[in-house]
Structure formats: C-alpha cells, structure tokens
Structure 1
Amino acid sequence: MNIRIKSFVTLCLPLLMLLNSCKTVKKPVLNDVDRKVVIGRAVHSDSTEAADALVSLFDVRIINDNDSIFKTYSTNTTRNGYFILQGVPDGQYLLYIYDISRGKCNLSRVKKMQTSLQIGGAVVLKPLVTLRGRVIRAGNADPIKIIIPGFGATTKPDMYGWYVLSDVPAGNYELAFVSGKSIDYLHLDITDNMADTVYIKDFHLGYQTGTVSSNYRFNQ
C-alpha cells in the first residue's frame, strides 16, 4: 500500500511543478495604491510649520449654477507640516489647506497624472482676503452669479457690475461667472498677495465660455 502511494506521489509531483510554473504573474498597474498618493508640506508666511492643519482635496464639478464637490480626500498635517493623501486617482483637483488655530489657509489647483504627486515647494498659508472687481457684459439680460468652485463662496454683482467676495483664501484658482447657460472663468493667482483686499481687473463675459452641465475644467 505504501509503495502505491509513493508511486502516485512520484508521478504527480512533476505535474504539480509544471502547473505552478504556468501561473501568470500579475504585473503592477498605474492604479496601484502606491501610485495614488499626493504628498506635500504646509507652512505659514513666516516659514513656521503649519501643524495639524486640515488638508482637503476636492473633485469639483459645476451643475446648473451651483458647484458640487463629488469626492473629497482629507487628512491633517503632521507637527512638521507634512501631509499625505492616499487613494487619489489621476485628475484635476482643488487643494485646500486650513490651519484653524491661526485662521490661515490656501486654495490651489493641482493636477495628478499616472504617478504619485509631490507638491513642488511648501504651500504657504495666509489670512483670508476680500476680492473686489467688476464684470461687464453686452446684450445679455440673464442674472450673473459669481462663485469659487469647490470653496462655496458666492455673490452677485450690483446693477453696475461691481461685486465683492469676502473671506476667501489666497492661492491659485479660478473665479467662475455663471450666466444663463454659460460659464466664464477668470484665473486668479494671489499667492504672493499680502494685502487684505485684492482688486481684480474688469472681466468681460464671453472671454472663455463653457456649458453649465459640463464637468468643471481648469484653464490650462
């Protein structure tokens, strides 16, 4: 009996080795966890670390005349101001960092493609600012709504086109002018601003237009 069992094992062993050698080795793909990472560091304008600041990455789209956050990735900075966001697929996002203890923040657009994203240079947090400007249009009677997509700030111009947006972050992002079935975008770069109020140049509707129902897209 033992001889038969031994013979059976001897015959099956080469077959098992052959089957094992034919197994397909799974190759890593671009969507592996180690590729879905956004890494960075936040500091204050005096170069001190922004410890335990809230870090949020928004996937933003505009629907009708409102902005909607479809997905949020969140974490907090370490005591040295570093942060890491995991599970982030490729795409364009708004990065919002807020230090509640000092009332300073930053809002910036980021683009992640095919690999982990290392934010170049530290993100500098600054006090909230007020935006003031004027929107000009010709022959369009539709009301205008002005928003910062992903941040929730919104306002409407007066009868002369003047508008004010208070308590908004410094940073690098878009201002959206929604009118009827169109959206016009104005890119803002106020990363170096140190004033409490930022005066924006006159904006003419129709300079850059998209459809309200489309996904929010940043200027290239």
Structure 2
Amino acid sequence: MKFTRDEIRRSMLLYAISDRTWLKEGESLADVCRRVLDSGATFLQIREKDLEPGRFAQEAEELRQLCQRRNVPFVVNDSVEIALSCGSDGVHVGQSDLRGRDIRALIGPDRILGISAGTVAEAKAAQEAGADYIGVGAVFGTSTKKDARNLTVEALRDIVRAVSIPVVAIGGINAGNIAQLKGSNVDGVAVISAIFGAEDPGAATSQLLALAKDMVAAHG
C-alpha cells in the first residue's frame, strides 16, 4: 500500500469531499481543490453524483494529480471503475455498495478502501470487508443525504471502540460545531459544504484544520 496504516489514520484529520455545486462563475473544481489542499486538507475525495462518467473520470484524474504532487491520499466516491481507471489511491463506498460485491477484491490489496457506517454493527462489518477507514455519520445532519441519521458523541465513541481502523466523522460539521466532537475519539472530520460552500474555501480549510487538531488533541 502506498500509504501506511498510520499515515491513513493521520490523513483523516481534515478530510475534504468535493461538491461542484458550490463553484462560482469561472471556477473549476481543480482550482478550488488546489486551494483547499494548499491550505491544509489532509485527504480528498471526489464525490460527484450527477456528473456523467466521462467528465467524472476526467476530473478525477485532475484531482489525483493534484493530490499525488502533495502526497495527500485521494479516493473516488462509489465508482470502483473510475477509481481504477484514473489510478486513484482508493475508493469510498456506502453500505449498499457492499451488497453482493467484494470491493476489496475488486480494487486489490494496495488501494485504500473507505466504507460508510452509522452503527457499531455496520462498522464491524466494514472492517471485516477490508476497510482501511470508516466514515461515520451523519453527526449533525446533512443536506447531501436525505436519509442520514444523526449520531451522538457517545454513539461515535462506541463505534471507535468497536474497531481498530481509523474513524472519521461526517455530516453537517463546520467551524461552529466541531468542538462538540471532543471526547468522541474520532481521528478527524470529513467536510463538504463548510469548505466548498465557503466564500473562501482556502481560509475555511485553514480554520477547520486548526479546529480539527484541537478536537483530536482534546480526546486525551
């Protein structure tokens, strides 16, 4: 694997997930992601649900190159095919993507596999399916998933305790509420709109990175 287990755990600190719907006139996704990476994002996922496959693959390749030059892990949301074709570091999938598919076998042993989970049982199953990390949420609700369940700090802590792989919290996390995750023992936070929807995504990234470091340090 290109990234060690410890490197993956550290890369969870500020996990940015792309959302092109926030792009301003004249901006490209690569332009914004470059600023976000240069401002301290430690992991990047391309998540473009409504982009046609050819364009998705093209943008994934652009972002892969940006991340590779900065030695930041880059994964593709849902599409194993695009993850493989663009040479990404891995793929992130949901619970429904696991049904009848051995994602680990499809991507091989050397790529990163992230899996979403919302319960201890789902987290344990994800680890057994070969996940390198788990995305757990939604912790504060989210506009990107209509059926997301909110999770308490106690529930997050139970999930972290139940698995040995890194856990990143996701769902409605922003500068105003990230401190509420202190004591959850998560390895970091995954953020979409608080970065890509910000007036200045780079400045938002810098602020969230500092807050994420403070949150993790407070776990004790």
| TM-score, scaled to structure 2 | 0.25
Task: Give the structure with the larger helix fraction.
Answer: 2
- Choose 1 or 2 for highest CA Rg: 1
| TM-score, scaled to structure 1 | 0.25
Greater relative contact order structure (CA < 8 Å, 6+ sep): 2
Task: Give the structure with the larger strand fraction.
Answer: 1
